[in-house]
Structure formats: C-alpha cells, structure tokens
C-alpha cells in the first residue's frame, strides 16, 4: 500500500480535519483517508454521469435510438 505525506498543511485545514476525526472517533490519518475516498468517489460518479450525458447527447443529435431498447433485451433474457 502506498503512503502519502503532506507538508505545509494550512492550520485551518488541519484543525477542521482534527475536529471531524475526533467526532468520528478516528485518528487523523484514518479521517484523511475517509475524506480522500469520499472525494474520489464523488469524482468517479461525476465522470460517469458526464460520459452518460455525452452519449445521450450524441444519440439525440444523430437521431439514432438503441434498437432494440435495453428494456426489451432484458425482457427477452428473462423470458428465456
């Protein structure tokens, strides 16, 4: 597992992280890891939404539709 060292961390960020760590009964390192994971998860979800929106716009601009529709594919698969 990789390690991360942060230098010159502003005092206000350190204090906010320390308060949240204490409230959650975690160490400072554990709290930092929890918040980093949450931040990257939000970005991942945001990227997925952006990709899906781009696909949707491309389909709408091209005038193409999925044939057959995904619901129809699922229905056929369930009936099998």
Q: What is the pLDDT of residue 15?
A: 94
* 55 within domain boundaries: yes
Q: What is the pLDDT of residue 26?
A: 94
Number of domains in the chain: 1
* 3 within domain boundaries: no
Q: What is the pLDDT of residue 17?
A: 93
CA distance from start to end of the chain? 45
* 54 within domain boundaries: yes
* 20 within domain boundaries: yes
Average pLDDT over every residue of 51-60:
77
Q: What is the pLDDT of residue 61?
A: 72
* 19 within domain boundaries: yes
Question: Domain range holding 61?
Answer: 11-79
* 66 within domain boundaries: yes
Among 23-27, 40-44, 73-77, the range scoring the smallest mean pLDDT is 40-44
* 5 within domain boundaries: no
Distance CA 13, CA 48 (A): 29
Distance CA 22, CA 13 (A): 14
Average pLDDT over every residue of 53-66:
70
* 1 within domain boundaries: no
């Amino acid at each position: 597992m990789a390690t991360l060292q942060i230098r010159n961390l502003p005092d206000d960020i350190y204090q906010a992280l320390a308060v949240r760590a204490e409230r959650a009964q975690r160490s400072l390192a554990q709290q930092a890891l929890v918040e980093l994971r949450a931040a990257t998860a939000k970005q991942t979800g945001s990227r997925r939404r952006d990709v899906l929106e781009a696909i949707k716009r491309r389909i709408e601009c091209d005038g193409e539709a999925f044939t057959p529709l995904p619901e129809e594919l699922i229905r056929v698969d369930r009936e099998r």
